[in-house]
Chain A
Amino acid sequence: MDVTAAKYIGAGLAMTGLIGAGAGLGILFGNYLQAAIRNPSAAAGERVWLFLGMALAESMGIFGLVMGFVILFVKV
């Protein structure tokens, strides 16, 4: 296979890591919203943990994204 073609395919495959990040963010915000609607008075205090969880879930996707960039743009 051509190296350039393999590079693009690899970068595309690296993006599959974003599936998990998307699912994680959906679960996170969905559950936060559900909890916040059930008990609105407690919602504000948990917002820090919401954003922390968001960062942790998102970072997994970001790692995939960085791998994609490394595959595409880093010249070996």
Chain B
Amino acid sequence: MAAIEPMEQFLVHKVVPITPLHVPGLGLLDLSITNSVLFMIISASVISIFFLMAAKREIVPGRMQAAAEMLYGMVDGTLTGGIIGDRGRPFLPFVFTLFLLIAMLNLIGLAPGGFTVTAQLAVTAALAIMTFTTVLVVGFVRNGLGFFKLFLPAGMPLGVAIPMMFIEFISFAVRPLTLAMRLFGNMLGGHVVTYMFASFVVGLGLFGLQGAGLAKLGLVGSLVSFLVIIALLALEFVVAFLQAFVFAALTCVYLNEVVNLDHGH
């Protein structure tokens, strides 16, 4: 029986090797196409092709256009519109792109043979840092130095205000970490749990087939594990979509704080 290696599915390996380039100032850069890059390209192409085909601008939308409009309407209505308000419109493309890309990467990872790009901490960290930088830049551009009012809730007595500032600052500073870890942990955890149950199906099944007497109960365990996998996969599809939604929603919440800083929303 093959060894149970739940982390082996997350290994990055080269698909199209490219000899490392020497870039002045950066050193050697390895730009090989890895399986991670490959699946990112696939999901980006799927999204682009879907929207190119869906955007026919018909007055009575067809199936694809209706689906695309539903997605767009959801992000526009509940995320940027619902959380940030009217001032959230300029951020709609950013939030919509984040949502679609993460959802597609999560879903493509669930396909058989698929590689889960979002289970790489480097990828989720890059996305989280991008969001965090956007929040910082927008905050400073819109409010100038008034940005620091974010750390000082209004109408607070001085004795409480100073410790509160520290707490608020720390909770602000760990945001990219929590954003990255949440997506990474959810995808990693889900896939590892599914893998473990899949190994139970094979292991207990073989045990039941080879043994006699009570060992035949292994077959029952194998069947139960198989049913659990089906349920888990259904859950994973929900989680894949939900985590993309949550990432986009948290981006909106963080943007809302800096966009509507001067007047509460």
Contact = CB atoms under 8 A, between A and B. Distances in A.
Interface of A: 45, 47-48, 51-52, 54-55, 58-59, 62-63, 65-66, 69, 73
- Classify the interface of chain A: helix, strand, loop or mixed: helix
Interface of B: 6-7, 78-79, 82-83, 178, 181-182, 184-186, 188-189, 192, 242-243, 245-246, 249-250, 253
Contact of B249 (A45, A51, A66, A69): A51
A21 to B, nearest CB: 11
A51 B83 CA distance: 13
Contacts of B242: 51, 54-55
- Classify the interface of chain B: helix, strand, loop or mixed: helix
Nearest to A73: B7
Given A48-B79, A54-B246, A66-B181, 4 more contacts: A45-B82, A51-B245, A65-B189, A66-B184
Contacts of B246: 51-52, 54-55
A52 to B, nearest CB: 5
A48 B82 contact: yes
B250 A55 contact: yes
Contacts of A63: 181, 185
Contacts of A52: 246, 249-250, 253
- Interface pairs A-B: 5 shortest CB-CB: A62-B185, A55-B246, A59-B182, A66-B185, A73-B7
A65 B6 CA distance: 14
Contact of A59 (B6, B79, B181, B245): B181
30 contacts: A45-B82, A48-B78, A48-B79, A48-B249, A51-B245, A51-B249, A52-B249, A52-B250, A52-B253, A54-B246, A55-B182, A55-B243, A55-B249, A55-B250, A58-B182, A59-B178, A59-B182, A59-B185, A62-B186, A62-B189, A65-B185, A65-B189, A66-B184, A66-B185, A66-B188, A69-B7, A69-B189, A69-B192, A73-B6, A73-B7
